[in-house]
Homo-oligomer: A and B are copies of this chain.
Amino acid sequence: MIRHLNVDIPGQGLHEITDRLEAMVREAGVKEGLCTLFVQHTSASLLIDAGQDGPSQNDPLYTHQNEGPDDMPGHIKSALTATHLCIPVVGGRLALGTWQGVHLWEHRHQRGARRIVVHLGV
């Protein structure tokens, strides 16, 4: 089963999509299976990260362009970060750990919309 998730992003940084993804799985009625996300852009990545004690949108890693890994050219980034993620579905829910959340990591500064294709398999 294919679903589409469009994410409006205000600019560079991490954007949590866990709740929208959970709602999608619930509405699709998948009880046990595998949820795969694929982002159709080369300047954005997907990552699983700590939701509560993890990086915030104020973390320099995710918000500044001229220091740390954010200074990497885009093609290094796309070689080292993830275009897709797979998360098992158990009991009708994403089988995330207590501290895990699903994020879109936008590498560009400008506002925009990002398309994620979601595959729900059994």
A residues in contact (CB < 8 Å) with B: 1-2, 32-34, 36, 38-42, 45, 47-50, 54-55, 59, 61, 68-69, 73-76, 78-88, 90, 95-100, 105, 115, 117-119, 121-122
Contacts and interface: CB of A to CB of B under 8 A. Distances in A.
A34 B119 contact: yes
Nearest to A96: B40
B105 A117 contact: no
A86 B117 contact: no
Contact of A90 (B2, B47, B97): B2
Most-contacted residue by chain B among A33, A42, A96, A105 (CB, 10 A) = A42
A109 to B, nearest CB: 18
Given A48-B78, A121-B122, 20 more contacts: A2-B32, A2-B95, A33-B119, A34-B119, A36-B88, A38-B88, A40-B97, A45-B79, A47-B78, A49-B75, A69-B79, A79-B81, A79-B105, A82-B82, A84-B85, A84-B87, A86-B119, A88-B117, A88-B119, A121-B121
A62 B107 CA distance: 21
